[in-house]
Structures are given as C-alpha cells and as structure tokens.
C-alpha cells in the first residue's frame, strides 16, 4: 500500500505501474481513506474508503481524475466520510443511482404503457416528448433533472417564440411525468412542483360573422377535396368537435330521426346532437362515397378517418379571408362555430 501526499501535479502525472502490475492504489496522507487508483492503461480514479455501521470496510467510487480536480474529489470524499458516520449505506446509494432510469427509459417503460391504458390523447404526449422534451433531457437520469432545469426549459421555450398556451401544455406534461415518477417512488420528490404557468393572453375568442361564414362556405363549395369541405361544413352546422366528426361512424347516425349519438365525448360521456336539414344534406352527399368504410368522413384511398387535412384547410381559410383562425368547438346551436384568432 503506497502512501503519498496527493497533489495536483502527482494526479496529472502519476508514476507508471511497476513490474507489470494492473493497478496501484496511492493513499493520501492528508485525508484518511482517500486514495487515487492508477491503472496500467493510464486511467486514474478517486475512491474513498470508509467503515459502514457494521464496522465493515467498504470503498466508494468518487470519479475519474480527468473529470474532477483534486480539491473537488477531496470535498466529495469528506461528504462520504460524513454520510458513513451517519450510518448511510453508500454502496446501496450508488446502486440506486445506477438503477435510476433515464427519462427515455422512464417514458418508454413506465409512463407511456400506463397512459395508453386510459388516456385517449397519449399520442399527443408522446409527440410533445419526442419533439421537444427528449432532445433536452432524454439521456439524463430522472433524479438528475432539477427545478432549475425545468424553469430554464420553460424560459428557453418561451424565448424561442412559442405561444404561452403551447409552453403551458408542455409544462403540464412535464409536471405529470414527474408527479407519476414520485408517486411510483422512482424519485424522492418531483422537481416540477411549484413551477408556475405562463399567463395565456395570446388568444381572443370570437365567432365568425355572417359575412365571414358565407365567404367560408363559398370557398368550401369551390374546394375539389369534397371530404374536407364536407367535414368543415358539417362542423359549421353542428357545432361538433373536430375529433367527434372525424371519428363519426354511420352507425352513430339515426338518419330517420335526425340524431347523431357521439358515444364518447371529451367529457367521457355520450351525447346526442340534433341534425339540422343542412347536416342531413351533407350526410346524404357522403352516403356511399367510400364503399366498405364505416366512417362518414373517410379517406378516399384508405377508408380510414380523415385526420390530417391542415394544408387543405389552410388554403381554404386564406382564400376566405380568415387566415388567422382555427376550428374550435362551439357549445351552442344558435350561433356560428367558435374560432380562435391569435394576436
């Protein structure tokens, strides 16, 4: 056992291992139990030896000499000594750290399998994570992510020009992820606690005027993509949610009595929508357009629900002179559907 006064110069250029030995341990003369392990490969590592609460001698790894200064390593060694005196099992703590999942592992192995069982919007969660959150924290251990990291993420996201509502949706997902990690005892405490929401002052709610609606209907009739134009017109005359219409099946429609039963609305309950004459005419046009499809607004090529039609809708709204609006559910039958106009 070699004992030396460990200095920065010694750590940077330790003597080579003698006589073909694989490694040599150099114990510090200043701090009891603190040592530098030098291997024949040239790699050096700091360790601290200590006695556990049962009097057994153990050794805790501190880190590589090329990533820690000597003083930083000594500081960590003193922490290990203090924790050992308090009866902590440092090897157990290190094993827990090794077993701690990265955020990618937590999302893939725990979070997503859980939310897929009950959350209809789980794909939105997955998309937000993959496109934004994963790029920042994906390879970090769950316990490494701090409150400061989360506040910085929110600030950078906002400074990048994203609307407060968009930032808040991502922050809500982050909070939920860490809340579940705490609940399942993956981490001791969620770092996302007490992170405030941004004030959402970026939208003005309004209804289309009669003139705007007529212009929109005119452009819908001129649109060559009949499925999209029928769908948007159906939303106008029913005030339904976009997801309700795109997922609507013929079996939900009682054409004899003019009633549409939405089996599972956003509230989690079924509801009925009385179909106006205009809505019945749209359904009449749709009947039989896509053979063997159970969906009212089916993709002509696949027979599956028409979900992605943003580009066509964007062309229509610009041609109608309302480029700043998007479709949103209107909960009343006697007004035009609600749109959101962004400032």
Tens digits of per-residue pLDDT, 230-244?
999 998 888 888 888
341 band by pLDDT with thresholds 50, 70 and 90: very low
Can you tell me which residue has the tokens 């893939």?
108
69 band by pLDDT with thresholds 50, 70 and 90: very high
Higher per-residue pLDDT: 95 or 56: 56
Residue 289: per-residue pLDDT: 83
CA pseudo-torsion sign 85, 87, 91, 97: negative
- Quick check: 255 and 280 in contact, CB under 8 A? yes
Q: Which of 90-99, 172-181, 206-215 has the lowest mean pLDDT?
A: 90-99
Residue 290: per-residue pLDDT: 82
30 band by pLDDT with thresholds 50, 70 and 90: very high
Can you tell me which residue has the tokens 């959350």?
119
Over residues 101-117, mean pLDDT = 94
Distance CA 187, CA 300 (A): 49
Q: How many CB atoms lie within 10 A of CB 208?
A: 20
On whether the pTM is more than 0.85, the answer is: no
Q: Say if residue 337's pLDDT is above 60.
A: no
What is the side-by-side order of every strand in the sheet holding 259-262? Answer: 253-254, 259-262, 271-274
Six-digit token string for 112: 């997503």
- Quick check: 37 and 15 in contact, CB under 8 A? no
234: closest CA among 256, 217, 251?
217
Q: Say if residue 98's pLDDT is above 90.
A: no
335 band by pLDDT with thresholds 50, 70 and 90: very low
Q: Say if residue 204's pLDDT is above 70.
A: no
Residue 168: per-residue pLDDT: 93
Over residues 305-323, mean pLDDT = 89
267 band by pLDDT with thresholds 50, 70 and 90: low
- Quick check: 174 and 140 in contact, CB under 8 A? no
- Quick check: 174 and 133 in contact, CB under 8 A? yes
Q: Strands 23-28 and 34-39, how do they pair?
A: antiparallel
HSE, CB side, 13 Å, CA atoms: give it for residue 269.
3
Residues 6+ apart with CB under 8 A from 209: 336
Q: Say if residue 222's pLDDT is above 90.
A: yes
Distance CA 192, CA 152 (A): 12
- Quick check: 232 and 215 in contact, CB under 8 A? no
Residue 254 main-chain phi, psi, to 5 deg: -100, 90
Task: Read off the pLDDT of residues 74-86 as tens digits, 9 standing for 90 and up.
Answer: 999 998 888 888 7
- DSSP tag of 272: E
Residue 260: per-residue pLDDT: 94
Average pLDDT for the chain: 86
Residues 6+ apart with CB under 8 A from 30: 5, 6, 74
Alpha-helix residue ranges (DSSP H) falling in 69-205: 70-85, 90-99, 103-106, 112-115, 122-128, 134-137, 147-159, 164-183
| Angle at which helices 226-238 and 310-319 cross, to 10° | 70
Over residues 179-184, mean pLDDT = 94
């Amino acid at each position: 056992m070699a004992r030396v006064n460990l200095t920065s110069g010694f750590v940077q250029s330790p003597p080579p291992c003698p006589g073909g030995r694989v490694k040599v341990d150099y114990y510090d003369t200043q701090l009891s139990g603190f040592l530098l392990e030098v291997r024949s490969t040239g790699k050096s590592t700091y360790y601290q030896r200590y006695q556990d609460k049962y009097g057994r001698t153990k050794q805790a790894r501190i880190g590589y000499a090329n990533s820690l200064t000597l003083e930083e390593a000594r500081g960590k060694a003193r922490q290990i000594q203090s924790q050992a005196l308090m009866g902590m099992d440092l090897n157990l703590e290190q094993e827990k750290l090794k077993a701690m999942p990265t955020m990618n592992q937590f999302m893939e192995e725990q979070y997503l399998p859980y939310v897929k069982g009950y959350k209809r919007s789980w794909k939105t969660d997955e998309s937000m994570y993959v496109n934004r959150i994963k790029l920042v924290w994906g390879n970090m251990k769950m316990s490494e992510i701090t409150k400061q990291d989360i506040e910085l993420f929110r600030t950078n996201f906002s400074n990048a020009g994203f609307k407060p509502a968009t930032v808040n949706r991502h922050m809500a997902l982050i909070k939920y992820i860490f809340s579940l990690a705490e609940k399942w005892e993956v981490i001791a405490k969620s770092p996302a606690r007490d992170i405030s929401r941004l004030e959402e002052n970026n939208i003005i709610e309004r209804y289309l005027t009669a003139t705007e609606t007529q212009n929109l209907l005119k452009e819908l009739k001129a649109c060559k993509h009949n499925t999209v134009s029928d769908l948007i017109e159906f939303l106008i005359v029913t005030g339904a949610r976009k997801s309700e219409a795109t997922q609507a099946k013929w079996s939900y429609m009682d054409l004899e009595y003019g009633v549409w039963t939405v089996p599972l609305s956003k509230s989690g309950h079924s509801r009925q929508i009385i179909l106006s004459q205009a809505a019945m005419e749209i359904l009449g046009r749709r009947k039989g357009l896509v053979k063997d499809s159970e969906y009212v607004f089916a993709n002509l090529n696949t027979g599956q629900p028409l979900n992605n039609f943003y580009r066509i809708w964007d062309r229509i709204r610009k041609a109608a002179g309302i480029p700043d609006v998007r479709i949103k559910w209107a909960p009343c039958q006697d007004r035009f559907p609600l749109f959101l106009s962004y400032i």
